[in-house]
């Protein structure tokens, strides 16, 4: 884990309210794994005290890429940063996704900006010879920004709530069609989506390894403040250091506070 002051290389709005940022940090790039995240200081007075967690969206030998939605003070501040400015970044943090060596076919399910860490996972998985299918859901076509940029070997299917691209409805409705071909399933999206999968598909996915990446409010990112504590079958866990990736069946969904 590093705490660095990293130069911003690019920071562009790729779709309304969605930004793609590249920062320079060869050290973080070398040690990062899919599913890990960084904590970024978003400097606005008191906002500075609480870093914001952002997933590692991609790496290259010189640094990291992020894909983020500007939803509040911190991420809006981030969206206004320019190339050449510096960012205070802590990471890579947390435990990421685990691909079993015996798995050949991986199914990835992304809800909205939850696609950010799954692209990193998908790219690493195809590099190591796995077959990857990505189901990507968004409210409307405009938010499906990343799909055309994926390497050809990643198959994908889109779902939009307004039906403007692909399947009309929630991306999770595609699970029954695709789950049987998958040796492992990886899901990232808003908590209500994850909870809906856990509660509605528990029986159908009983024999599958399903890993979910939890987007919960975090404080420190280091396991000191207990702001992100959740209940699991193995007792209380902190999403920041024990996760953000958990086996879906380990999480105690009915106790999970929904925002
Ligand atoms: C491990 C992890 C990885 C993440 N990766 C990404 C990513 O790659 N791209 C991305 O766009 N976002 C990601 N998020 C969510 C991101 O951290 C929040 O959107 C951000 O902290 C909001 O800060 P803010 O100051 O802009 O908004 P705030 O003013 O703090 O909040 C604005 C809105 O966002 C909601 N929110 C705040 N914090 C979170 C949170 N941690 N998770 C979900 N909703 C939140 C609030 O409830 C509120 O509705 C990730 C979260 C976690 C825990």
Model confidence band, residue 258 (pLDDT cutoffs 50, 70, 90): very low
> Among the atoms of ligand 1, which is closest to the Cα of residue 70?
26
Ligand 1, atom 6, lies closest to the CA of 54
Q: For residue 217, how far is its CA from the centre of ligand 1 (angstroms)?
A: 7
Domain coordinates of the chain in residue numbers?
2-93, 105-255
Q: Is the peptide bond before 61 cis (omega within 30 degrees of 0)?
A: no
Q: Name residues contacting ligand 1 (CB within 6 A).
A: 37, 52-55, 66-69, 71-75, 113, 116, 215-218, 244, 259
Burial group, residue 88, by CB count within 10 angstroms (0-12, 13-18, 19+): middle
Q: Which residues pair with 92 in a beta bridge?
A: none
The confidence score (pLDDT) of residue 216 equals 86
In CATH terms, the fold of domain 105-255 is Rossmann fold (3.40.50)
The confidence score (pLDDT) of residue 44 equals 63
Query: 144-183, pLDDT tens digit by residue?
Result: 877 767 888 899 999 999 999 999 999 999 999 999 999 9
Mean pLDDT, residues 134-142: 92
Ligand 1, atom 29, lies closest to the CA of 72
The answer to whether domain 2-93 has CATH 2.40.30.10 is: yes
Query: 97-107, pLDDT tens digit by residue?
Result: 999 999 999 99
Ligand 1, atom 53, lies closest to the CA of 215
N-term to C-term CA, the chain: 30
Q: For residue 103, how far is its CA from the centre of ligand 1 (angstroms)?
A: 31
Ligand 1, atom 47, lies closest to the CA of 259
Mean pLDDT, residues 135-139: 94
Q: Is the dihedral of CA 144, 214, 155, 175 positive or negative?
A: negative
- 2-93 and 105-255 have identical folds: no
Ligand 1, atom 4, lies closest to the CA of 54
> Distance (Å, rounded) from C-alpha 228 to C-alpha 241?
9
26-57: string of b/e by CB count within 10 Å (b at 16+)?
eebbeebbbbbbbbbbbeeeeeeebbbbbbbb
């Amino acid at each position: 884990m590093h705490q660095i002051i990293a130069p911003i290389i690019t920071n562009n709005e790729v779709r309304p309210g969605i930004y793609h940022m590249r920062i320079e940090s060869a050290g973080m790039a070398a040690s990062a794994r899919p599913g890990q995240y960084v904590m970024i200081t978003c400097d606005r007075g008191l906002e500075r005290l609480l870093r914001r967690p952002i997933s590692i969206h991609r790496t290259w030998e010189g640094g990291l890429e992020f894909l983020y939605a500007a939803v509040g003070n911190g991420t809006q501040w981030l969206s206004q940063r320019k190339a050449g400015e510096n960012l205070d970044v802590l990471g890579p943090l947390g435990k990421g996704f685990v691909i079993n060596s015996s798995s050949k076919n991986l199914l990835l399910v992304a809800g909205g900006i939850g696609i950010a860490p799954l692209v990193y996972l998908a790219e690493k998985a195809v590099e190591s010879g796995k077959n990857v299918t990505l189901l990507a859901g968004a409210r409307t076509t405009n938010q499906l920004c990343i799909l055309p940029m994926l390497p050809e070997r990643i198959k994908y299917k889109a779902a939009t709530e307004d039906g403007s691209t692909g399947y009309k409805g929630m991306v999770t409705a595609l699970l029954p069609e695709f789950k049987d071909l998958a040796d492992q399933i990886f899901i990232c999206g808003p908590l209500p989506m994850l909870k809906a999968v856990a509660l509605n598909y528990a029986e159908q996915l009983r024999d599958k390894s399903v890993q979910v990446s939890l987007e919960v409010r975090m404080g420190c990112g280091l396991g000191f403040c207990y702001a992100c504590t959740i209940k699991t079958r193995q007792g209380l866990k902190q999403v920041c250091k024990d996760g953000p990736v958990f086996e879906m069946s380990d999480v105690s969904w009915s106790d999970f506070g929904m925002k």
